[in-house]
Structure 1
């Protein structure tokens, strides 16, 4: 098991550039801003850079063997270098400055994706990610969730603190067992009636006109 280098006060990763056989690297909670020396680590399949000071992720475009990548809690706005990482199955991008998610459109192997706490309004590029099982989009400015209708494998969906009012496009997501709609302008929840696998839908903070739980047992709904 590789030793994690998290919370080690690391600012420079240049000494790692020669470790070209590395397959797993954890560098969470440091002061790293320049990741260019990591471009040579093409054997990596797991890389975690959670909670650093990274804004430029261009060096990651060469790491095409990556399957797991954590970049949450950084200062990233441009994620276009990720478009070449077609083997990714797990990607964390929460708490950044991302508004354009179109570079993710080609990452069809993704099963787990988190994009909470960004500046996203348009999620149409995510419609092609049909293998997604877990998707987190909380704390953005999303109103139109129609692109999610094609994500039939979703089991967990987080949409808290957005601007969603129409949830009719969720009707097709019959594999959902967890749905978080906390704090949106949703008034009509009847579209959830077909989602019979839901265990505890969070509907709090919505102006729901009739608080009748559309799934059984009715006690599972949180209003």
Structure 2
């Protein structure tokens, strides 16, 4: 999925370019003809607000000066975190990365699931900045939308579609984010013309009043208050259904929905216990079920023969047993309760290119790992691994994340040479690094560079960066300098 670019508190209703339509904040200030007294009140309020804004600007200037010093420290720390795969990143409209623990998309598209414990601060203790978060795999496609802070607002608690936010009869898309919309209504104004309905971070409690929108292809009610999947079985043309960040407990109602074109189904961050009602969606390519209460994956998943991405991070899954899924390329089982390898896993999912198993309790890699010959990226962060297993069959492997494991023997690093395509390696915070011992850290670094001198990134450090310089119209390549 491409990250969505949204601006909080900007709600819009898109129509054809030639159609005049009011939306966003304009609709909130709209006064019907004849209500001039209300208009005068609005003008008085705007005048008072501008005076408050001038005062606030003065205080903001002083606060900005004080924030400068803190900002410099934050930049130094951010430079390290920015290079850590899966580390929190700025989201376009806030998603997030999402509490990063949601099993959603890659780097800023998929976020890492991390739990950081904060201890009590004792008296007379010097405050020391915490170390950067350890990198983890992309367990999250995006994050929860961060709602903006607002001054005191005397306006209505909720706004209404078709009234506060006008809907033009020629609209084929209706998009509103953080707009305080509580109910789906008045969409019959667009009827069959509506192709995309996207209400993100609102207050919708029930899916309803879509009877006339039979040509809807994209329904997104991300981050609302929906408790039940209902009243959508007639939307036969749906290709995208996103009900992430709601209060849904069961997917069983989907069994009555004949969505023969559905390709992307997002149900992360709900309260789902059992995977059910989805096995007839044979065109499904993306399935997100992260951050739920799932304990096992049923065998019926094998009917999803076109599934390419399956995101199951941050659940309660205890077994790696999965049926054959020949089209699957991306799989995330991060932040579950895995403690052993299942041999059938490797035979059934031999086509995987991206595998994320971080934050479990898995032991050393089994011989069957060699069956995943197409792997490009693998996340094994924070498990119980004690050795780096040489697997020459993984000729395509480019990124290997094994930091925060239990590897003690520095000699294990020599086995990295069995991965000829390796570009990025994370091994920090294993016992062999002896973090804090400068001499030991240098031996750790030199051992890795000797084993795989062609890598481009070691932990958070970029190596051999190649720059392209265009001066007189010709392109030249300049190699970066490797740090000593």
Q: TM-score, normalised by structure 1?
A: 0.91
Between the aligned partners of 2:332 and 2:458, the Cα distance in structure 1 is 24
Which residue pairs with 1:91 in the alignment? 310
Which residue pairs with 2:223 in the alignment? 7
Alignment match of 2:359 (pick from 117, 136, 139) = 139
Deviations 1:101-124 (A, max 9, x none): 22x230121111111001112242
Q: How does 1:38-53 map to 2 (within 5 A)?
A: 38-39=254-255, 40-43=257-260, 44-53=262-271
Which residue pairs with 1:196 in the alignment? 420
Whose Rg is larger?
A: 2
Q: What is the count of residue pairs matched by the alignment?
A: 222
Which residue pairs with 1:184 in the alignment? 405
Which residue pairs with 2:301 in the alignment? 82
Between the aligned partners of 1:83 and 1:91, the Cα distance in structure 2 is 12
- 5+ residue gaps, structure 2: 1-195, 197-217, 434-442, 461-484
Q: How does 1:27-42 map to 2 (within 5 A)?
A: 27-39=243-255, 40-42=257-259
Between the aligned partners of 1:20 and 1:177, the Cα distance in structure 2 is 41
* Residues 73, 109 of structure 1: alpha-carbon distance in 2 compared, 3 angstrom cutoff: same
**Deviation, structure 1 residue 219:** 7.4
C-alpha contact (below 8 Å) 2:390/2:416 kept by paired residues: no
Matched, 1:18 2:255: no
Which residue pairs with 2:457 in the alignment? 220
* Residues 193, 169 of structure 1: alpha-carbon distance in 2 compared, 3 angstrom cutoff: closer
Q: TM-score, normalised by structure 2?
A: 0.44
Secondary structure of the equivalent of 1:58? coil
Matched, 1:157 2:378: yes
Secondary structure of the equivalent of 2:400? strand
Alignment match of 1:125 (pick from 344, 350, 363) = 344
Which residue pairs with 1:168 in the alignment? 389
Between the aligned partners of 1:125 and 1:140, the Cα distance in structure 2 is 19
Between the aligned partners of 2:455 and 2:247, the Cα distance in structure 1 is 48
Between the aligned partners of 2:456 and 2:352, the Cα distance in structure 1 is 28
Deviations 1:154-179 (A, max 9, x none): 11100001011232253321211111
**Deviation, structure 1 residue 197:** 2.1
Which residue pairs with 2:99 in the alignment? none
**Deviation, structure 1 residue 218:** 6.8
Between the aligned partners of 2:250 and 2:232, the Cα distance in structure 1 is 12
Secondary structure of the equivalent of 1:88? coil
C-alpha contact (below 8 Å) 1:196/1:216 kept by paired residues: no
C-alpha contact (below 8 Å) 1:10/1:32 kept by paired residues: yes
* Residues 206, 42 of structure 1: alpha-carbon distance in 2 compared, 3 angstrom cutoff: same
Which residue pairs with 1:64 in the alignment? 282
Matched, 1:108 2:329: no
Deviations 1:141-192 (A, max 9, x none): 1113223211111111000010112322533212111110011112312211
Between the aligned partners of 2:223 and 2:357, the Cα distance in structure 1 is 27
* Residues 71, 218 of structure 1: alpha-carbon distance in 2 compared, 3 angstrom cutoff: closer
* Residues 50, 41 of structure 1: alpha-carbon distance in 2 compared, 3 angstrom cutoff: farther
C-alpha contact (below 8 Å) 2:219/2:238 kept by paired residues: no
* Residues 42, 206 of structure 1: alpha-carbon distance in 2 compared, 3 angstrom cutoff: same
C-alpha contact (below 8 Å) 1:42/1:64 kept by paired residues: no
* Residues 17, 202 of structure 1: alpha-carbon distance in 2 compared, 3 angstrom cutoff: same
**Deviation, structure 1 residue 201:** 0.2
